[in-house]
Structure 1
Amino acid sequence: MKAHTPLFCLALLAAGPALAQNVESGPQASFEAQTGPVTVVSVQPPLPNASQYAVKVADLDANGDGRLDRTEVPDDHALHFEWKLVDRNRDGYVTDEELANWK
């Protein structure tokens, strides 16, 4: 088996550029490196709940007080699972300012 290992590595190295060119186009970031332009393409699929991360207080504010408490957030919403992360001042409420910092 060890005799085939170098051949396998050579095959992978030779196929690398071809494989890289067949990557599906996703979000991209480009920058200039010392060796020339570099473009990085994400191949990670988008989050199925990505729209939940763009929520505003008014979208979920059932009692109209301008802030959210945990009872106003559905159990299956991303904010429900990340409440402690978003409620930065730990007052038990989430404001639009706190939501703006949540990514």
Structure 2
Amino acid sequence: MSTRAPLACLALLIAGPALAQNVESGPQAQFEASTGPVTVTSVQPPLPNADEYAVKVADLDANGDQRLDRSEVPDDHALHFEWSLVDRNRDGYVTDAELANWK
């Protein structure tokens, strides 16, 4: 019988607490699992342009037609880069309904 497996298990037991340190870098979500309460902490930093993902048509609608065409969206806006993902029906316009599904 090899002695490597027990040594590897021992190394994991010793390193476990160090690997499971509480990370305080992002938002937390809490829920109840079948085994008890669970807290999940994001280690991904918040997006610097997160507010752009909450945009409404009225925020950018320059001509007042209650829909956006690509020329109404600033070149550096997140919607400009993800236009083809948001314009689900591929009609060249983005509506509030399409924006509501964009996250």
TM-score with structure 2 setting the length: 0.79
Aligned length: 100
Misfit runs of 4+, over 6 Å: 6-9
Aligned 1:55-94 pairs, distance under 5 A:
55-94=55-94
Q: Which moved more, 1:40-49 or 1:29-38?
A: 29-38
How has the CA–CA distance of structure 1 residues 9 and 72 changed in structure 2, closer, same or farther, with 3 Å as cutoff? farther
- Structure 1: gaps (5+ residues): 1-5
| Residue identity matched to 1:42 | S
The one-character-per-residue Cα deviations of 1:30-51 (angstroms, maximum 9, x if unpaired) are 2223332211111110001101
- Structure 2: gaps (5+ residues): 1-5
- Equivalent-residue separation in structure 2 for 1:46 and 1:65 (angstroms): 33
Aligned 1:1-103 pairs, distance under 5 A:
13-18=13-18, 20-103=20-103
- What is the aligned-residue RMSD (CA, Å)? 2.3
Q: Which moved more, 1:70-79 or 1:11-20?
A: 11-20
How has the CA–CA distance of structure 1 residues 8 and 24 changed in structure 2, closer, same or farther, with 3 Å as cutoff? farther
What percentage of residue pairs aligned between the two structures are identical?
A: 89
TM-score with structure 1 setting the length: 0.79
| Residue identity matched to 2:42 | S
1:55 to partner: Cα distance: 0.5
